[in-house]
C-alpha cells in the first residue's frame, strides 16, 4: 500500500490497517498458485481505491438516472471501447459485479424460469452458474449437464451433441473452472446452432489467454461471451459481457435494470486500465509465459510421479489427482499452505471423495508469472510441492520450505505491492 494511504488508514482504523498490511505481506511472501487469482498493477489498485466509489450511475453512458456523470460516462465508455477493441466484440457491457451476476444476466436476457439450460457439471470442471443443482441456475431453470469422458477426462463433443439434441436447451454454456485443455468453442457453437440454442462462452479463467493470443477466441462464434476481469486478464474483481450486436439491448437490459443497480465505477476504471494493459505487446508475452510456466510446472510434477488430469495442460491450469500420493486434496492443500504455497483443493472428474475433502488440488500460473518467474522457478516449486505432499505432517519441513519460498519471492517483486 502507498505509505501515505497506509498512514491515513492506520490513524482511522488501526485494526483494519494491520489486517491489510498482513495480507499484503502474505501475498508478497507466498507462491500464489490459485488458478483464478493474480496481482493487479499499481495503476489498477489506485483506480479501485479512488473517489469513483462515491458515485451512483444507474443507466449507461449518456443515459443515466443521476446527474454529475461528466467523468463517469467517459470512464465507462473508455472501458467499453477497450473491451470491444481487445476482444473484437460487437458490444460490451462492463457493469456486471462479477462472473456469477454476469452469467445470471445471460439467463435473464434469454430464458424464462423453467427453460432448459445445458452446461458442464461442476464436478467435471464447470461452474456453479452453468446449471449446477445448488445454484439458482439449477433450481429456477431446468438444467442438464454434460461431463468429460471417463478414459480421457476430456469433453466428448459427440456426447454433448447427443445430449443437446435430446434435451433441446434454449441456452448452452461452454467454459468452466477446472478445464486444463483448450476448449473447442467453434464446435460448441455448431451444436448450439443445430438445436437452436443461444451459445454462451464463459471465458472467466482464460480471458487473458484469449486476449494474449494463447487460446482460440469464442467471440466470432458465440452469441454471448461472459468473463470475470480478475483472473488471467489481471484486472480488479469484476465481470463483463460481450455479445453480437443483435443481443446488445437484451444483455444491457438484463444487467440494468434487470439484475443490478448502480455500477461500481471504481471497478470500471480498474477494468479499463487492465484492458489498456492487456493491449500492450508485453501482455502477449505474459500470456505466452503463463502457458509455458504451466507446462513446465506440469512436466516437473509428472517427473515426480504426480497424476495430472488429462496428463498435463494447454493453458494456465493444472488439476492433479493426489490418490497415488496417498493424501487427500485438503490435507495436501493445508500442508502446502503451511510451506508457503497457496492453492485450492478441488474435485476431480468422477471423484469418489466428497467436494469438501476431494481427491485433487488445482493450481495455476497467472500470479507467479506476473512476478516474472519462469520455468526454472516452476521446477523449484514442483520440487517443494512434491516434498510437502510426500510428508504432509512434517511441520519442520514445511517451516523450512516456507523460508525458502520467502527467499525466492523476495527475488521476484509482486506488482502493486510496495512493502
Does position 177 interact with ligand DSN (CB under 6 A)? The reply is yes
Strand partners, 200: 173, 224
Distance CA 346, CA 364 (A): 13
Active site residues: 56, 58, 202, 228, 231, 237
Q: Convert residues 121-160 into a mask of x (bound to ligand DSN by CB under 6 A) and - (unbound).
A: ------x---------------------------------
Does position 36 interact with ligand DSN (CB under 6 A)? The reply is yes
Distance CA 396, CA 102 (A): 45
Least distance from C-beta 160 to ligand DSN, angstroms? 21
Quick one: 148 or 408, whose CB is closer to ligand DSN?
A: 148
Quick one: 178 or 224, whose CB is closer to ligand DSN?
A: 178
Give the three-class secondary structure for 145.
strand
Quick one: 36 or 48, whose CB is closer to ligand DSN?
A: 36
Quick one: 69 or 227, whose CB is closer to ligand DSN?
A: 227
The C-alpha torsion from 61 through 65 and 69 to 70, rounded to 10°, is 70
Distance CA 185, CA 200 (A): 10
Does position 119 interact with ligand DSN (CB under 6 A)? The reply is no
Distance CA 142, CA 159 (A): 19
Closest Cα partner for 76 from 254, 228, 266?
A: 266
Distance CA 99, CA 119 (A): 15
Least distance from C-beta 203 to ligand DSN, angstroms? 12
With CB under 6 A as the contact rule, the residue among 59, 96, 99, 180 that binds ligand DSN is: 99
Q: How many chain residues touch ligand DSN (CB under 6 A)?
A: 4
Least distance from C-beta 306 to ligand DSN, angstroms? 21
Least distance from C-beta 363 to ligand DSN, angstroms? 11
How remote is the C-alpha of 173 from its chain's centroid?
16
Q: Which residue is nearest to ligand DSN (CB)?
A: 36
Exposed/middle/buried for 209, CB within 10 Å: 0-12, 13-18, 19+?
buried
Least distance from C-beta 387 to ligand DSN, angstroms? 26
- Size of the chain, expressed as the number of residues it contains: 419
Give the three-class secondary structure for 307.
strand
Does position 239 interact with ligand DSN (CB under 6 A)? The reply is no
Strand partners, 243: 91, 224
Quick one: 130 or 371, whose CB is closer to ligand DSN?
A: 130
Q: Summarize as ranges the residues that interact with ligand DSN (CB under 6 A).
A: 36, 99, 127, 177
Amino acid at each position: 500500500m502507498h505509505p501515505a494511504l497506509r498512514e491515513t488508514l492506520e490513524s482511522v482504523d488501526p485494526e483494519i490497517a494491520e489486517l491489510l498490511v498482513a495480507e499484503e505481506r502474505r501475498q508478497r511472501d507466498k507462491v500464489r498458485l490459485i488458478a483464478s487469482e493474480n496481482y493487479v498493477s499499481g495503476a489498477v489498485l489506485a483506480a479501485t481505491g479512488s473517489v469513483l466509489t462515491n458515485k451512483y450511475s444507474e443507466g449507461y453512458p449518456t443515459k443515466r438516472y443521476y446527474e454529475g456523470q461528466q467523468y463517469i460516462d467517459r470512464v465507462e465508455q473508455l472501458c467499453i471501447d477497450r473491451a470491444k477493441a481487445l476482444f473484437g466484440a460487437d458490444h460490451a457491457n462492463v457493469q456486471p459485479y462479477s462472473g456469477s451476476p454476469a452469467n445470471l444476466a445471460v439467463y435473464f436476457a434469454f430464458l424464462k424460469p423453467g427453460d432448459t439450460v445445458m452446461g458442464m457439471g461442476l464436478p467435471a470442471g464447470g461452474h456453479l452458474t452453468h446449471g449446477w443443482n445448488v445454484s439458482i441456475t439449477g433450481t429456477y431453470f431446468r438444467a442438464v449437464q454434460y461431463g468429460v469422458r471417463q478414459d480421457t477426462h476430456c469433453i466428448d463433443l459427440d456426447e454433448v451433441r447427443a445430449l443437446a439434441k435430446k434435451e433441446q436447451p434454449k441456452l448452452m454454456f461452454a467454459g468452466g473452472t477446472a478445464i486444463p485443455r483448450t476448449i473447442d468453442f467453434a464446435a460448441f457453437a455448431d451444436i448450439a446452432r443445430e438445436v437452436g440454442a443461444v451459445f454462451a462462452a464463459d471465458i472467466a479463467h482464460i480471458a487473458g489467454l484469449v486476449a494474449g493470443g494463447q487460446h482460440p477466441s469464442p467471440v466470432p462464434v458465440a452469441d454471448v461471451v461472459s468473463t470475470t476481469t480478475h483472473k488471467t486478464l489481471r484486472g480488479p474483481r469484476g465481470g463483463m459481457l460481450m455479445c453480437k450486436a443483435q443481443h446488445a439491448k437484451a444483455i444491457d437490459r438484463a444487467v440494468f435494470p434487470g439484475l443490478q443497480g448502480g455500477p461500481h465505477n471504481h471497478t470500471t476504471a480498474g477494468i479499463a486500465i487492465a484492458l489498456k494493459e492487456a493491449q500492450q505487446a508485453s501482455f502477449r508475452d505474459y500470456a505466452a509465459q503463463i502457458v509455458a510456466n504451466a507446462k513446465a510446472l506440469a512436466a516437473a510434477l509428472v517427473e515426480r510421479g504426480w497424476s495430472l488430469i488429462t496428463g498435463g495442460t494447454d493453458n494456465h491450469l493444472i488439476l492433479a489427482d493426489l490418490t497415488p500420493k496417498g493424501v487427500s486434496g485438503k490435507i495436501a492443500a493445508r500442508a502446502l499452505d503451511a510451506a508457503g504455497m497457496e492453492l485450492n483443493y478441488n474435485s476431480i472428474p468422477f471423484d469418489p471423495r466428497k467436494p469438501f475433502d476431494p481427491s485433487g488440488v488445482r493450481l495455476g500460473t497467472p500470479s507467479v508469472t506476473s512476478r516474472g518467474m519462469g520455468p526454472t522457478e516452476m521446477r523449484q516449486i514442483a520440487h517443494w510441492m512434491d516434498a510437502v505432499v510426500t510428508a504432509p505432517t512434517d511441520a519442520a519441513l514445511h517451516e523450512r520450505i516456507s523460508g525458502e519460498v520467502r527467499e525466492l519471492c523476495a527475488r521476484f517483486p509482486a506488482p502493486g505491492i510496495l512493502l
